[in-house]
Chains A and B, each alone.
Chain A
Amino acid sequence: MLSPEKTREVQSWGRYPKVKHARVTPIYWRSEIPDLASSEQPVLPHAYGRSYGDSCLNENGVALDVSHLNRFISFDEQTGLLCCEAGVSLADILEVMVPRGWFLPVTPGTKFVSVGGAIANDIHGKNHHAAGTFGCHVTRLRLLRSDGQRPICSPDENPELFQATIGGLGLTGLILWAEFRLKRIVNPYIDADHIRFTSLDEFFEISAESDKNFEYTVSWVDLLVGGEALCRGIFTRGNHNQSPELARKRLPKRLPLAVPFNLPQFVLNTLTVKGFNELYYHKQLPRRVHRIESYDPFFYPLDSIHDWYRMYGKRGFLQYQFVVPFEGGREAMREIIGRIRQSGAGSFLTVLKEFGTIKSPGMLSFPRPGLTLALDFAYAGEKTLRLLDELDAIVRQYNGSVYPAKDARMSAESFQQFYPRWREFARYIDPHFSSSFWRRVSTTQ
């Protein structure tokens, strides 16, 4: 088939905001990187553009396309330590390593992110309560700074630069390669439970008993249901299957769907979201279903729908993910869910999870112990922006935080309150690196 138009336009996943870059510079070899200091405009690394908002964008600046720095460097079968260039995608790693009995220590909801992006956003996954963030598993990385220095950063070498780079949104320099530990698996299958719940309180109950015994937990929720229950949903929990026989079983091929063009605006609105929620909530007849699933649909349900952002049409969409501490968590959720219902905005894919207590080394790391909810909203102009500002206010009130990897609009005041270490972090930013996100959130009165 004809390949899709290869424009040199660099975009984020939500297609909002749409910005123009001065130029896109592809980098093919670690040994052939242009002098970053000689660029008039600031630079920012960009790989697969899976961040939703503007943390991966650099308006009027230079986008360093590092997706071609995608080579493996070494792998140690004894320790599980994998070293690879930062443009390697998690999908590449899974393709090569799963058949050999190794899995990612932490994985987000899509496998099409780069290792550099995984570090820069300090991504988390369904196993945060058991394993922490991706940054917790990085042993070393090499950074390229615009002054030509290529420091190796680890908990022991250049530790502050290491801590700044984890969750550092690509601003401390270009990550050339990273080393991190994979974990051993017996086979590519997951023992999964899917349990329907009818209220937030029921979610808490199931969570309490599940987080102890299950490595992976996450819930899809419907916030439009109304009433004291606050939400209903399906709780998913899973562990790696341990049967050696299944190691030899062939993985079923997933037929990829693709959204071929932007859908018109009326397709995804509150009514259709309500309709979808109703269907999805009832998709399993019994309240509790147990299945052995292959890892791909368990971890990456959306990856099989290519370009799913097109369902939101040309206007794009905004993702919003926040965390609120357990203390006051229920009240925070009640206020937030109430505000969302009031606005009439429907979120198509709403995900709820409890974060655990494992601390990340990253200065700007998002996860902290508490409840996290991820929502998406079709971009409907001022209305949507105002709603999110109001949600920010509630999150601030409850001492929570909002995730930069998904953000396209949080104010500088909010960001600086959510991330008290931001000034300390700013000391490690490379003078020639910048992003649209950073320029927005680092302004002070």
Chain B
Amino acid sequence: MRILILGASSLLAHEAAKHFAKDGAELVLVARSPQKLAAVQGDLCVRGAKAIEAIEADLADVTRHQELIEAALKPFSGLDAVLVAYGTLGDQQRSERDVQVALQEFNNNCTSVISLLTLLANYFEQQGRGCIAIISSVAGERGRQSNYIYGAAKGALTIFSQGLRNRLAKKGVAVVTIKPGMVDTPMTAHMRKGRLFADPKVVGRGIYRAIVKRKDVVYLPAYWRYIMWIIKSIPESRFKNMNIGG
């Protein structure tokens, strides 16, 4: 299995990658920080990855995407799967006050991903097989005051992946939309951890299985499907006055 991981320094991506490494996969890792890239590469190498190519790149930079994808396809003469795992939780308060920050956030989590997925979709479509996995979020299911810039980006990403799934299903390419709930990672390090924060190892394993089994939409942990069903069923006239998830 040759898999490209966009955002390899993400804890969830690393946890998922551990399972691929154990299977002896060939991995292309992309991240911004060379130190983090090296740390993740070293770990996955010891864990059994057959070969690893590490590429430093700022995934928010749309102008470099074409050359990045070309570079990712080279080392193992193609790819069987890609996991989109990068993103930023952002600062909601700052996004509210500063347009540039808001747009940057949206670019980090959605626009730049659309750019990469457009290129990758075309590659996998002409190849006629493969799996594109995208880490979205339950935050994309309903806009709420505490993180709607992030939520909007993830919501758009979810719909984009859904359309992509529809387009590529007949071409033998699976598109997996992964929706984690709240997970205990560096992204949420600033938050007070309650009972609902999941173990990243569990979520990482779920991502691995979702890719291997070519699922459609996966909530991780699974009970988030039911939590979101309840949240989405609250009428808007009530929801607008609530303060969920602070």
Residues of chain A whose beta carbon lies under 8 Å from any beta carbon of chain B: 1-8, 26, 28-31, 68, 71-75, 82, 84, 96
- Residue of chain B at shortest CB distance from A4: B195
Which residues from B are CB-within-8-Å of A74? 42, 45-46
Which residues from B are CB-within-8-Å of A72? 42-43, 45-47
Contact between chains at B194 and A6 (CB < 8 Å): yes
- Residue of chain B at shortest CB distance from A70: B43
A-contact bits for B193-230, CB 8 A (1 contact / 0 none): 11111110010000000000000000001010000000
**Distance A72 CA – B45 CA, assembled complex (angstroms):** 8
Which residues from B are CB-within-8-Å of A5? 193-195
Chain B min CB distance to A176 (Å): 11
Given contact pairs A6-B193, A73-B42, A96-B46, A31 touches B186 in the complex (Cβ within 8 A): no
Q: Does B39 contact A (CB under 8 A)?
A: yes
Q: Does B174 contact A (CB under 8 A)?
A: no
Which residues from B are CB-within-8-Å of A82? 46
Chain B min CB distance to A66 (Å): 14
Which residues from A are CB-within-8-Å of B39? 29-31, 71, 73
Which residues from A are CB-within-8-Å of B66? none
Given contact pairs A71-B42, A72-B42, A26 touches B193 in the complex (Cβ within 8 A): no
**Distance A30 CA – B39 CA, assembled complex (angstroms):** 9
Contact between chains at A28 and B42 (CB < 8 Å): no
Contact between chains at A71 and B194 (CB < 8 Å): no
**Top 8 closest A-B pairs, CB basis?**
A6-B193, A72-B46, A31-B35, A71-B43, A72-B43, A75-B46, A73-B42, A28-B186
Can you give 23 A-B contacts (C-beta < 8 A)? Answer: A2-B196, A3-B196, A3-B202, A4-B195, A5-B194, A5-B195, A6-B184, A6-B194, A8-B192, A26-B186, A26-B189, A28-B11, A30-B35, A30-B39, A31-B39, A71-B39, A71-B40, A72-B42, A74-B46, A75-B46, A96-B22, A96-B47, A96-B48
Number of interface residues of B (CB under 8 A): 27
Contact between chains at A29 and B36 (CB < 8 Å): yes
Residues of chain B whose beta carbon lies under 8 Å from any beta carbon of chain A: 11, 22, 33, 35-36, 39-40, 42-43, 45-48, 184, 186, 189, 192-199, 202, 221, 223
Which residues from B are CB-within-8-Å of A30? 35, 39
Which residues from B are CB-within-8-Å of A71? 39-40, 42-43
Which residues from A are CB-within-8-Å of B184? 3, 6
Contact between chains at B193 and A8 (CB < 8 Å): yes
Given contact pairs A6-B184, A72-B47, A74-B42, A31 touches B33 in the complex (Cβ within 8 A): yes
**Distance A82 CA – B45 CA, assembled complex (angstroms):** 12
Which residues from A are CB-within-8-Å of B199? 3
Chain A min CB distance to B37 (Å): 10
**Distance A30 CA – B36 CA, assembled complex (angstroms):** 9
Chain B min CB distance to A53 (Å): 26
Chain B min CB distance to A182 (Å): 12
Chain A min CB distance to B33 (Å): 7
Which residues from B are CB-within-8-Å of A4? 195
Chain A min CB distance to B73 (Å): 27
**Distance A2 CA – B222 CA, assembled complex (angstroms):** 10
- Residue of chain A at shortest CB distance from B33: A31
Which residues from B are CB-within-8-Å of A84? 46
Which residues from B are CB-within-8-Å of A29? 35-36, 39
Which residues from B are CB-within-8-Å of A6? 184, 193-195, 197
- Residue of chain A at shortest CB distance from B223: A2
Which residues from A are CB-within-8-Å of B45? 72, 74
Interface centre among B35, B36, B39 (most CB of A within 10 A): B39
**Distance A1 CA – B224 CA, assembled complex (angstroms):** 11
Chain B min CB distance to A93 (Å): 10
